Structure 1
């Protein structure tokens, strides 16, 4: 063969080899992404209990992964459903439409629950608890975009004790979403995802974990005297779990049970959730295919305990020490079944929580609490005295005022005048800092960052027309014990944001990032399109180059 022919053959073979190599190349992605949301986890819980955490749970993610130390919610109100939606859509309530856990539909005047869907039916659970789907969410999620990017070959599942904690993160295109049914003690679903539970979940339910956990007694993980980060176990700021008549350890709820609802208040619910997550990973072979899969996990019991016992309780401290063990268990399971370095995991919260108002007052810090129901009654009474007309306000919820437009039209009243009177009443009330007219925000005297949060939370079809901004330390709670959330303040909006595993470098940063940046960051890491309502930006510092 001549030299020229040899060169031509060699060049052709080199071209074929390069072509084959290109055909073998794939987009670099992890085998599995796991999203963890811890309901009502304040950012400072990472450090409040740091010395008591094991090396394998929160500390493993903090010290071997990447921590965004200054992550914030950038909308109002700071509640569970908007939080889960924002994390996975990269959007805000103004766009994704999940403005609260419940809201008033401004067209029909009817109350709406965030995931309610009367067109679907229960699967393996009670009728009402099964009429749920993600249809009220108006945008796609990062999980939806992963399914679209892989032509539906990626698998996506959501699991939580709360329905909204499973449904909203998993998105519109999920293979399944499962939540706890109080009437049966099982995980259930709805016909939105299929007419039957998958076999692996049926087998899990048949083990009847709820029965064994509900019959157990919650005692502290360590000697109670070692809980120095908490108030004394017996104090006047805490409320009892339903079925109990005391607020102190040990907690036993089985004797008074009428259903399985009380399990939500125990660390055992987190244990059962992790067992269900492991069953899902094994049963669906997550992380074992050629495409990236996604598992959304939301821990709800932290929220139930926070609302009942306050952030300063022994119960809250013990709940997080036990959750640390569950996180460690899950990470080790992922190491074994997916492979260390083959999965990416992030951990964040949907919101934080305030300190109990009466506790704050007892230590001479300004705070207060007023129930929205009481304020609603007083406001309508005052408006009647001023105008002679009944029921001019239809609802007061989510720190927002919904005017009764039908009554205003019926009485041929000036709507702006009614808003002005309503604002006047609020400005006379203790604990109120500002009233923002959500329909004319440019007139507000509130600081610009608070106005922007209110703007991000306003959806004209689902929100009230006035936003109530309370003084720091104030909230609208249900009574003198426990606590709640929903405000703009850092204790409600400063959230943990930890990243670990594939594609994540070790380190931390202190620049401000928003909850909306989480989905944008995942989209960049996975090389897929952002959700269709995403306004966030990728946090490029945390990615390996």
Structure 2
């Protein structure tokens, strides 16, 4: 009898902690990426925020002031992929939003996949170019496929990357018709999301919407540039063919995203089915019309105020439907900001203009003088130059020798700080700058030559209505927040590598990290 009692007692001591552990295991993970969100603007505007948005994350969660992406030319696609895979473009395969298709000698969106069909869109996308697993994939795997993984964002690629390979579905707003679109790569299209396209479609509402500031202009004093002392009102006329594209650069688009995200929580029963589910949400904190903060500083500040309210609404919905004590939430910036204008000539800041089309033409003439007639240069994309590898092979030439000669020629051009050949990036180890350039290089998609341009210069794209890209290499203070059960609030002021977010979140979820993630979880987190 005593042996039975003792055995029962020992069994209870072993089992109870396991039961408690399972009861406290997260039921839902919510990943939020905010394009171009800045820590300094958050701090400067916090007096205009409510208590349940950013302030709740600051008070109750892990706060990282300075999220660092260790590669140049970060954009929305590459940053989202880095956050969700826990590794660099060199491994995850998404170096930028666009790539140069050498077969057709043209630029394409990185996730373009002609083998797929779009729903409510003519765009053809899939996540198949992502070369490693993502947090979303691991959530799906750990549940044996039973967990639901959805994503919603204004942009197609932001949404698809966060949904991953194994996600149920990813939704975005179609630039042409304002519908919530997806791709046939994903097979689970909930009826309650499709209802938005019939009941609340932007295509029938957008011309009735107007963006006006929440507060009077005198309260928007956070951005240190001269701003208008009068209010603004932006509308989206039915006659404007770009109305949906323009709408997606406003603060109002975040409200549309939140509406769908809340619907997933309500109708999709996420976090309430006995398995781990995941919801991925993409927001924007960029400048209106992709212009500059000097032009639209008032609008940008209003974007932050409205974003705070959308995050508060999302967190309230999570708390109501699942409970924040059963949810892991991470919110991260994409770590770049493209809203700075070039300085006026009156300040005498060294500057200039770099014309890729002219650079390519001159390089081709130079190479013809050495190697004979031929189209030796096939294209330029994202500060990369692509040589004609097929012609080089046909002429039985040394490709590395040609790259080195091309680099020696290009570095003499005004505005070019350095030139990296593919061989130099793949085989060499050297300075931090070289390591960063290698991190952002993708051998299967990137060019033969990568240009490092001088700060203060502008890249002028003559074949795209003289579109200009201003070169700045400033480190942008990018925030990240993590809110999880039993995790004590902590404020981290030292730089945090973006590749540490995926393994940290994975540890909080008690699942394995994505297969390309070699970073350790954040050591500052205390339980």
Q: CA deviation at 1:85?
A: 0.7
Query: For the residues of structure 1 that align with 2:113 and 2:492, how far apart are their CA atoms?
Result: 41
Match of residue 490 from structure 1: 475
Q: Are the equivalent residues in 2 in contact too, given 1:78–1:488 (CA < 8 A)?
A: no
Q: Are the equivalent residues in 2 in contact too, given 1:354–1:483 (CA < 8 A)?
A: no
Query: For the residues of structure 1 that align with 2:69 and 2:401, how far apart are their CA atoms?
Result: 33
Q: TM-score of the superposition, structure 1-length normalised?
A: 0.86
Q: CA deviation at 1:310?
A: 3.6
Question: Which SS does the other structure have where 1:401 is aligned?
Answer: strand
Match of residue 215 from structure 2: 222
Matches within 5 A, 1:141-152: 141-152=134-145
Query: For the residues of structure 1 that align with 2:51 and 2:69, how far apart are their CA atoms?
Result: 28
Q: Unpaired runs of 5+ in structure 1?
A: 1-5, 236-247
Match of residue 61 from structure 2: 65
* Cα 1:476–1:54 shift into 2, 3 Å: farther
Question: Which SS does the other structure have where 1:249 is aligned?
Answer: coil
How many residue pairs get aligned? The number is: 520
Q: CA deviation at 1:197?
A: 2.7
Question: Which SS does the other structure have where 1:269 is aligned?
Answer: helix
Matches within 5 A, 1:197-346: 197-210=189-202, 211-228=204-221, 229=223, 231-232=225-226, 249-258=232-241, 260-300=244-284, 302-303=285-286, 305=288, 307-310=290-293, 313-314=296-297, 315-346=299-330
Q: Are the equivalent residues in 2 in contact too, given 1:79–1:485 (CA < 8 A)?
A: no
Q: Are the equivalent residues in 2 in contact too, given 1:306–1:482 (CA < 8 A)?
A: no
The 10-residue stretch of structure 1 (91-100 or 311-320) with the greater mean CA deviation from structure 2: 311-320
Deviations 1:337-376 (A, max 9, x none): 2223222211112231255352365555455553544543
* Cα 1:375–1:253 shift into 2, 3 Å: farther
Query: For the residues of structure 2 that align with 1:149 and 1:371, how far apart are their CA atoms?
Result: 50
Q: Are the equivalent residues in 1 in contact too, given 2:287–2:300 (CA < 8 A)?
A: no
Q: Which residue of 48, 51, 59 maps to 2:47?
A: 51
Match of residue 448 from structure 2: 465
Matches within 5 A, 1:38-437: 38-105=34-101, 111-123=107-119, 125-127=120-122, 129=123, 131-194=124-187, 197-210=189-202, 211-228=204-221, 229=223, 231-232=225-226, 249-258=232-241, 260-300=244-284, 302-303=285-286, 305=288, 307-310=290-293, 313-314=296-297, 315-354=299-338, 356-359=340-343, 363-367=347-351, 370=354, 372-381=356-365, 383-384=367-368, 389-411=373-395, 413-437=397-421
Q: CA deviation at 1:513?
A: 1.8
Matches within 5 A, 1:462-541: 462-474=445-457, 476=459, 489-491=474-476, 494-541=477-524
Q: Are the equivalent residues in 2 in contact too, given 1:31–1:343 (CA < 8 A)?
A: yes
Q: Are the equivalent residues in 2 in contact too, given 1:92–1:457 (CA < 8 A)?
A: yes
Query: For the residues of structure 2 that align with 1:255 and 1:231, how far apart are their CA atoms?
Result: 33
Deviations 1:173-220 (A, max 9, x none): 1111111123332212122111x7311102232222413344222222
Q: CA deviation at 1:166?
A: 0.8
Q: TM-score of the superposition, structure 2-length normalised?
A: 0.88
Q: Are the equivalent residues in 2 in contact too, given 1:57–1:328 (CA < 8 A)?
A: yes
Deviations 1:214-236 (A, max 9, x none): 4222222222344332644579x
Query: For the residues of structure 1 that align with 2:32 and 2:79, how far apart are their CA atoms?
Result: 12
Q: Are the equivalent residues in 2 in contact too, given 1:115–1:133 (CA < 8 A)?
A: yes
Deviations 1:419-457 (A, max 9, x none): 234323432333322212231248989x71111111112
Query: For the residues of structure 2 that align with 1:221 and 1:464, how far apart are their CA atoms?
Result: 46
Q: Unpaired runs of 5+ in structure 2?
A: none
Question: Which SS does the other structure have where 1:455 is aligned?
Answer: helix
Query: For the residues of structure 1 that align with 2:343 and 2:277, how far apart are their CA atoms?
Result: 45
RMSD over aligned Cα atoms? 3.2
